[in-house]
């Protein structure tokens, strides 16, 4: 009773949202630790309760989640997934709804034969990158994507480790072995109803949690230097306007064909300017200074940063242009563009005779360089460095990071190693090869997710070891004798769903499968549909972030709250329980 009370209290606190997830999680762990110290479980000593309460911090599930976060970070900081993101970006630009539907179908299909955790690990950084490029916000895509991968995982006996566990227990209890696609038609039929909900309804139930700051909205004026091997050479400006990235504008359109090394005056956001350099094969600063920065970065093993700096009233740069400022020679940094606040636009002497923008007080410079040189530049020329500095992707290690992720996913997918081992090995390789810097690992990990995982593991153990799960199952068996077969299946599925969303999939499988066999004997029903009801219920883990490790993986990336899972997951759970129960009755003629 106490174990169930703690679980319900934690759920209510999460749902109300008045305290942070971290505080609720730590309070839950503390209550379990203190409670079991003064009131130990039968056959246990006082000190044993500490292992139950704090064991989650050393649990393989938490290690796996942290390792997967580091792997995902490696793909992001090296830009390894940029090509895949650009392909999907083209689809989203064609039609947002079409792009989302194709993505959901990809996640669903892959998860039928590959464990859904590595599938989501591969797809999640792509959608975070897509959101940064202006596609659908990550908060509107990650929960539907996760739900699609979970839905695909329930379609086959090898889709998730939970499916394998349920089938193995059922075989031990005397049921015939199921083939890989034994119940796939049932799930595919139910998916015809569930996927439209994921595609059309679920994103509308989620808010846009993306952080929009002033830096992202700034438009920078710059000169794009056309390389000699660019495909633009010899073309008219009017012919390339359609190929320009979204958000790029040509300020001063030259007449005649484009010449090698010609400089085009353009404006756009930082992201748009980066896309322009890639598409148009140009540079935003003199090539000699960019090459020098890259060489020093490689030799010193330092990351290249891009920061924004505001020009103050006593800066020597005021009234100068970039060519006359000598910034590159003096400080070894490259100014990629100048943002002119609206209040300063239209000032006299805005441009020099050569057409370059004169720097004024209040302008924001977009500057690229190594950290030490950037600090020196800001101090010497009286510039105020703004928040939000970001590192450029270490593209030289993109292939290496992709290979590490690919091997980790492959070895886990085909069963060579457990996901915990392959993910941890991949994370270590990310550190050893320099794809992820160890001193930046804090950016990959989420403290909220770490304590939430630890608390959920503690709750699962106390629900299991206190006998609460077994007691609930026995109470369920007493009440089912008065229900119709369809209602019996729905009740078993809901019971197991409740366990899997608040304890764990393994607990739900190990408790629910024997109960299903017992109920089948009591009511004179075939065991197989009841076992399938357990299997399906173990996978309906949509309603809480603690239900499954992929739910927690997306929590920090999508900036989700507990109520986001409840709002989108509960309707899906009810939809799937109803549909699957009816399909099982029809399939087995009950």
Q: What is the pLDDT along the chain (590 residues), one digit of tens a residue?
A: 888 888 788 777 876 777 877 888 889 889 988 988 888 888 778 888 888 888 878 777 778 778 877 887 787 778 776 777 677 777 877 888 888 898 899 889 878 866 677 678 777 877 877 776 667 888 899 999 999 989 998 888 867 767 877 887 788 778 888 887 888 999 999 999 999 999 999 999 998 876 544 445 688 888 888 877 776 777 777 777 777 777 788 876 667 777 777 788 888 888 788 878 877 778 888 888 888 988 888 787 777 888 889 998 888 888 888 888 888 888 889 998 888 876 555 554 465 555 677 888 888 899 999 888 998 998 888 898 886 666 766 777 888 888 888 888 778 767 788 777 888 898 899 888 888 877 667 666 767 778 877 887 787 678 777 877 677 767 776 777 777 888 888 888 998 888 787 766 766 777 778 778 878 877 788 889 999 999 999 889 888 887 777 887 788 788 888 889 999 999 999 999 999 999 999 998 87
Contact 312, 383 (CB under 8 A): yes
3 state DSSP class of 385: strand
Rounded to an integer, what is the distance from CA 311 to the centroid of its chain?
36
Rounded to an integer, what is the distance from CA 291 to the centroid of its chain?
33
Tokens, residue 172: 């031990």
Distance in angstroms (rounded) separating the CA atoms of residues 116 and 150: 6
Tokens, residue 205: 């139930």
- pLDDT for position 210: 62
Closest CA to 60 of 589, 510, 506: 506
Residue with tokens 């909900």: 197
Residue with tokens 């110290």: 37
Region of 281 on the Ramachandran plot (φ > 0 left; ψ -120 to 50 alpha; else beta): left
Output DSSP code: residue 447.
Answer: H
Element (H, E) at 102: helix 96-113
3 state DSSP class of 36: helix
Region of 212 on the Ramachandran plot (φ > 0 left; ψ -120 to 50 alpha; else beta): beta
- pLDDT for position 344: 53
R_g of the chain, CA atoms, integer Å: 28
- The vertex-398 CA angle with 392 and 400, nearest 5°, equals 140
Rounded to an integer, what is the distance from CA 252 to the centroid of its chain?
40
- pLDDT for position 512: 78
Question: Which residues, in sequence order, are CB contacts of 531 under 8 Å at separation 6+?
Answer: 166, 170, 175, 513, 516, 517
Packed helices 562-588 and 485-502: angle between N→C axes, nearest 10 degrees:
150
3 state DSSP class of 248: coil
Dmax over CA atoms of the chain, in Å, equals: 93
Output DSSP code: residue 241.
Answer: G
CB atoms within 10 A of CB 417: 15
If 0-12 CB within 10 Å is exposed, 13-18 middle and 19+ buried, where does residue 72 land?
buried
The percent of the chain in helix, strand and coil, each rounded to the nearest 5, is 65, 5, 30
Element (H, E) at 550: helix 549-557
- The vertex-148 CA angle with 152 and 74, nearest 5°, equals 100
Distance in angstroms (rounded) separating the CA atoms of residues 203 and 225: 41
Distance in angstroms (rounded) separating the CA atoms of residues 56 and 162: 19
Closest CA to 83 of 433, 437, 390, 401: 401
Rounded to an integer, what is the distance from CA 288 to the centroid of its chain?
37
Closest CA to 191 of 226, 237, 151, 218: 151
Length of the chain: 590
Beta bridge partners of 364: 310, 339
3 state DSSP class of 126: helix
Residue with tokens 């992820």: 436
Distance in angstroms (rounded) separating the CA atoms of residues 574 and 589: 22
Give per-residue burial for 75-84: e unless 16+ CB within 10 Å, then b: bbbbbbbbeb
Distance in angstroms (rounded) separating the CA atoms of residues 59 and 209: 30
- pLDDT for position 348: 45
Tokens, residue 42: 């039968």
Helices (H), 200-351: 202-205, 214-217, 237-240, 270-280, 287-300, 322-325, 327-331
Residue with tokens 């992720």: 405
Beta bridge partners of 283: 225
3 state DSSP class of 525: coil
- pLDDT for position 570: 92
If 0-12 CB within 10 Å is exposed, 13-18 middle and 19+ buried, where does residue 339 land?
buried
Tokens, residue 288: 């000699």
Tokens, residue 227: 């390389």
Phi and psi at residue 209, to the nearest 5°: -95, 5
Question: Which residues, in sequence order, are CB contacts of 7 under 8 Å at separation 6+?
Answer: 459, 462, 463, 502
């Amino acid at each position: 009773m106490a174990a169930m009370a703690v679980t319900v209290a934690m759920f209510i606190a999460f749902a109300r949202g008045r305290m942070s997830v971290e505080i609720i999680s730590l309070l839950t762990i503390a209550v379990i630790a203190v409670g079991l110290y003064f009131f130990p479980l039968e056959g246990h000593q006082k000190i044993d309760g500490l292992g139950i309460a704090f064991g989650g911090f050393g649990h393989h599930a938490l290690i796996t989640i942290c390792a997967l976060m580091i792997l995902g970070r490696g793909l992001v900081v090296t830009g390894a997934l940029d090509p895949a993101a650009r392909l999907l970006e083209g689809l989203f630009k064609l039609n947002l709804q079409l792009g989302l539907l194709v993505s959901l179908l990809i996640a669903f299909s892959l998860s039928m034969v590959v464990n859904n955790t590595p599938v989501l690990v591969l797809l999640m950084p792509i959608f975070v990158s897509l959101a940064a490029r202006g596609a659908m916000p990550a908060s509107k895509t990650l929960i539907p994507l996760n739900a699609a991968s979970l839905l695909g995982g329930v379609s086959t006996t090898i889709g998730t480790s939970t499916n394998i566990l349920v089938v193995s227990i059922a075989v031990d209890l005397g049921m015939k072995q199921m083939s890989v696609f034994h119940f796939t038609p049932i799930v595919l039929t139910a998916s015809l109803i569930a996927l439209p909900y994921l595609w059309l309804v679920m994103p509308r139930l989620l808010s846009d949690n993306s952080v929009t700051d002033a830096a992202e909205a700034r438009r920078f004026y710059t000169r794009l230097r056309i390389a000699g091997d660019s495909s633009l050479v010899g073309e008219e400006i009017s012919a390339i306007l359609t190929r320009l990235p979204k958000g790029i504008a040509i300020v001063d359109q030259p007449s005649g064909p484009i010449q090698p090394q010609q400089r085009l005056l353009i404006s756009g956001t930082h992201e748009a300017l980066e896309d322009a350099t890639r598409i148009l094969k140009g540079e935003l600063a003199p090539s000699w200074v960019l090459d020098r920065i890259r060489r020093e970065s490689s030799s010193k093993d330092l990351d290249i940063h891009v920061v924004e700096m505001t020009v103050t009233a006593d800066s020597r740069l005021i009234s100068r242009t970039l060519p006359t400022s000598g910034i590159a020679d003096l400080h070894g940094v490259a100014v990629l563009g100048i943002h002119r606040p609206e209040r300063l636009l239209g000032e006299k002497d805005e441009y020099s005779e050569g057409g370059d923008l004169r720097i004024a007080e209040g302008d924001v410079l977009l500057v690229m360089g190594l950290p030490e040189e950037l600090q020196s530049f800001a101090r010497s020329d009286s510039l105020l460095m703004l928040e939000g500095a970001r590192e450029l992707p270490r593209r030289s290690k993109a292939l290496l990071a992709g290979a590490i992720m690919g091997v980790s996913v492959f070895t886990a997918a085909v069963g060579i190693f457990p996901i915990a081992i392959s993910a941890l090995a991949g994370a270590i390789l990310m550190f050893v090869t320099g794809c992820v810097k160890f001193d930046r690992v804090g950016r990959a990990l989420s403290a909220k997710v770490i304590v939430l995982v630890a608390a959920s593991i503690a709750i699962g153990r106390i629900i299991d070891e206190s006998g609460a799960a077994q007691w609930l199952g026995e109470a369920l068996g007493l009440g089912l004798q008065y229900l119709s077969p369809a209602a019996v299946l729905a009740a078993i599925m809901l019971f197991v769903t409740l366990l899997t969303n608040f304890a764990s999939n393994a607990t739900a499988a190990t408790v629910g499968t024997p109960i299903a066999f017992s109920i089948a004997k009591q009511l004179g029903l075939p065991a197989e549909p009841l076992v399938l009801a357990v299997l399906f219920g173990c996978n309906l883990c949509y309603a809480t972030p603690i239900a499954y490790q992929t739910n927690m993986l997306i929590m920090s990336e999508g900036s989700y709250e507990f109520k986001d899972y409840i709002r989108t997951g509960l309707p899906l759970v009810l939809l799937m329980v109803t549909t699957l129960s009816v399909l099982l009755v029809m399939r087995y003629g009950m």
